[in-house]
Amino acid sequence: MGADGHDKKKGWSNWSGNQTAEPQHIARPRDMDDLKAAITRAAGPVRVVGAGHSFTPLAATDGTLIKLDGMGLVHSVDQTAKRAWVNAGARLKYLSPELERYGLAFRNLGDINEQSLAGAISTATHGTGAGLSCLSAEVTALKLMTASGELLTISRERDSDAFDAARVSLGALGVIVEAEVQLVDSYRLHRLTWAEPLDALIGHAQSRWKTRRNYEFFYIPFSGYGISIAHEETKNKPTPRPPQDDDEAVLGLKRARDYAEDDVAGRREFLKAAFESFEGEDVIGNSWQLLASQRNVRFNEMEYHLPVKKGLSALSDVIAIIEKKHPDVFFPIEVRRTGGDDIWLSPFNDGGRISIAVHAYHEDSYDFFFSDIEPILRKAGGRPHWGKLHSLDYRSLSDLYPEFVTFSKVRNRLDPEGRFLTPYLKTLFGVKGTR
Ligand SMILES: Cc1cc2nc3c(=O)[nH]c(=O)nc-3n(C[C@H](O)[C@H](O)[C@H](O)COP(=O)(O)OP(=O)(O)OC[C@H]3O[C@@H](n4cnc5c(N)ncnc54)[C@H](O)[C@@H]3O)c2cc1C
């Protein structure tokens, strides 16, 4: 490694393996000077990567890839305000136990906690809960190093335009070095999971979102059944949790698919029997340990966030087309709800939304996402998850986001030379030229 923290050229691939790149340099800065050197002097385009868990080519570059995981964990904690400044490149799975030492926790988390904080906020990563916003909405201030190497501290009070843009910014404004996050007191959750037929899931979903802290469900294609997961806050003592078997369950669905081939009726009977003997979970534990799961069976994913009134009917259409045309699909379809916020590029900035996520095994084709699923989700007024597969470009995105043009102006102010722009980013922001 060179004095500025650069590795020689090495290949890069994201978590699922559907995005690869050959960056000339991988920079692992240890301090602000290293970072400034990588941003201002190393080969462009410059991209910063967290855990590489996005399915879109957001982090891919043949220039310089920056990784911030060597820049620390929790920098300072204000226990009265329940806020902490943390290394934005730190992984959520390391931040949660560290914050617990201060009696603090993230208000909510997504399905996993492998992501870096900056990667998660940059794509509006969310969990589920009608009253719970995406992680980006918990950010109260940011330190952002721009293309010129200037370190800006931004918040609602200081450069509010940059702040409104940066909280969901796809690494297009600069490198988020540190983030101040609003936390809550550490809390325990009571987790319940159970199986139900699809019509009950759809029929109860809205009322469950109204009454439960966290509620989501997974519909299992070709089964007529799904699994609900609910969490409520509790002061009761933790209970032992049996080992997690989500990966084994997904591989079981794959085996059912492989064995049944085109015998959809046989597959449905087999899965129905399995659901009738499903044993759910009923456990109490720390919030971050129960909210985040392990996902070791690799997949690719499309997720759209839909207006609350349209989400469940779009879900029925998605299920119908998968079960009519795509017997290869076996991964559960995930359905969640997230509260609204005011961030320019947050998919939730005009109110809470229902999210529908469709997955394909990493060795299987995901062309059907674009041919059959995306048209349904777009017709229902959906906005894509920034880190998950979609086909939208500047024209369609600027129709979906009232502040998209304003965001692009801030991007142009902070990075006038397009140092952070790859060809993919240019398609998103309507910038001409291939480099
Ligand atoms: C198994 C799995 C489960 C998932 N579960 C959920 C879920 O429950 N909810 C959900 O909403 N999403 C989920 N996702 C998607 C994931 O949360 C997002 O794609 C997230 O952006 C990944 O974080 P990351 O650290 O890997 O970021 P990366 O994918 O590495 O980067 C994402 C974006 O952030 C930018 N970025 C990273 N670090 C910085 C920085 N320091 N400064 C500026 N920009 C930066 C990158 O340039 C890129 O544009 C899941 C993905 C996988 C693979």
Q: Whose CA is nearest to atom 53 of ligand 1?
A: 53
Q: What is the distance in A from the centroid of ligand 1 to the CA of 424? A: 16
Q: How far is the C-alpha of 98 from the C-alpha of 64, rounded, in Å?
A: 30
> Ligand 1: does its nearest atom lie under 6 Å from the Cβ of 176?
yes
Q: In terms of CATH architecture, what is 188-384?
A: 3-Layer(aba) Sandwich (3.40)
> What is the structure's pLDDT at 114?
97
- C-alpha pair distances (Å), 205 with each of 88, 283, 298, 420: 34, 22, 28, 41
Give helix 246-260 / helix 264-276 axis angle, nearest 10°.
Answer: 150
SS (H, E, C) 178-247: EEEEECEECCEEEEEEEEEEHHHHHHHHHHHHHHCCEEEEEEECCCCEEEEEEEEEECCCCCCCCCCCHH
Q: What is the distance in A from the centroid of ligand 1 to the CA of 337? A: 19
Measured from the Cα of 385, ligand 1's closest atom is 11
Residue-wise pLDDT tens for the chain (435 aa)? 443 344 555 699 999 999 999 999 999 999 999 999 999 999 999 999 999 999 999 999 999 999 998 899 999 999 999 999 999 999 999 999 999 999 999 999 999 999 999 999 999 999 999 999 999 999 999 999 999 999 999 999 999 999 999 999 999 999 999 999 999 999 999 999 999 999 999 999 999 999 999 999 999 999 999 999 999 999 999 999 988 889 999 999 999 999 998 899 999 999 999 998 899 999 999 999 999 999 999 999 999 999 999 999 999 999 999 999 999 999 999 999 999 999 999 999 999 999 999 999 999 999 999 999 999 999 999 999 999 999 999 999 999 999 999 999 999 999 999 999 999 999 999 998 644
Look at domain 74-185 and name its CATH class. Answer: alpha beta
> Ligand 1: does its nearest atom lie under 6 Å from the Cβ of 285?
no
Judge whether 417 and 147 are in contact, CB under 8 Å. yes
Cis before residue 45, ω within 30 degrees of 0? yes
> What is the structure's pLDDT at 434?
46
- C-alpha pair distances (Å), 288 with each of 129, 238, 285, 342: 15, 13, 9, 25
Domain boundaries, the chain: 74-185, 188-384
> Ligand 1: does its nearest atom lie under 6 Å from the Cβ of 115?
yes
Q: What is the distance in A from the centroid of ligand 1 to the CA of 59? A: 10
- Nearest Cα neighbor of 92 from 75, 110, 76 is 110
8 Cβ neighbours under 8 A, 6+ residues apart: 25
Quick one: the chain helix, strand, coil %, rounded to 5? 30, 25, 40
